[in-house]
Amino acid sequence: MPQEFKERRSGPPRVLVVDDEPAITDFIKLGLSREGFEVETAPDGRAALAAVDRFTPDVVVLDVMMPRMDGIALTRELAGDPKRGLVILSARDDTEDRIQGLDLGADDYLGKPFEFGELLARVRSVLRRRQPELAAVLRVGPLQLDRSTRKVRRGREDVELSAREFDLLSYLMEHPGEVLTRDRLLNAVWGVSFYGDENNLEVYVRYLRLKLGDTDRQLIQTVRGVGYRLAAD
């Protein structure tokens, strides 16, 4: 019988990574954690079933070739829940394998070797389809940002931001703990065709700090000569 999705507490989206290669699970966990996901790992299908019951992931990323219970059997067990996404990540990448995985209920199928950026995009896409209300909300440390309503809170306090301030904070929250260069922030928030004064970025960072009560600059941190970093916790 398919494992049913259980109600869980609010928080960042949860991803369970299932693979018998620790180098792969560690790599994916590190990358997704940096992107604001809560991540756990399992080395095989049977361990994954126990983790699903305890951890209640929103998306499961799973390999096909694993001991004890392979990814095909695991997909059969987990398919059918409308809120839990399944992404198969496997070296078995021919057309028949893809068709089998998708027919069993997987949302997506990505072959190995893979680029982390593509896996991240696939996970986010599945999350948007399965739980759009969850994908819309970013949570980093004391901050919560809802892209669907464009509301921001720090702790229990609402924070009123302009459209540009909101977009800048949203991008920072999409990359917690990551050093973002000035050029990258300008391109992401103002657009690749931006030819204005780079001081615009510094001005808006100052506005954000003021409105978020970040007087000690420990929330939005300046990386001298490079750019800015949003504290991850």
User: Which pLDDT tens digit goes with each residue over 32-61?
Assistant: 887 778 899 999 999 999 999 999 999 999
Which of 17-31, 100-114, 180-194 is most confident? Answer: 17-31
Q: Under CATH, which number does the domain 137-230 receive?
A: 1.10.10.10
- pLDDT tier, 193 (very low <50, low <70, confident <90, very high otherwise): low
pLDDT at 132 over 90: no
For domain 14-135, is the CATH number 3.20.20.80?
A: no
Write down the domain spans for the chain. 14-135, 137-230
Model pTM score: 0.62
- The closest alpha carbon to 202, from 168, 171, 170, belongs to 168
First to last CA, the chain: 39
Report the distance separating Cα 128 and Cα 10, nearest Å.
Answer: 16
Residue 103: other Cβ atoms inside 10 A: 10
> Furthest-apart CA pair in the chain: how many Å?
60
Pairing mode, strands 151-154 and 157-159: antiparallel
Residue 43: other Cβ atoms inside 10 A: 17
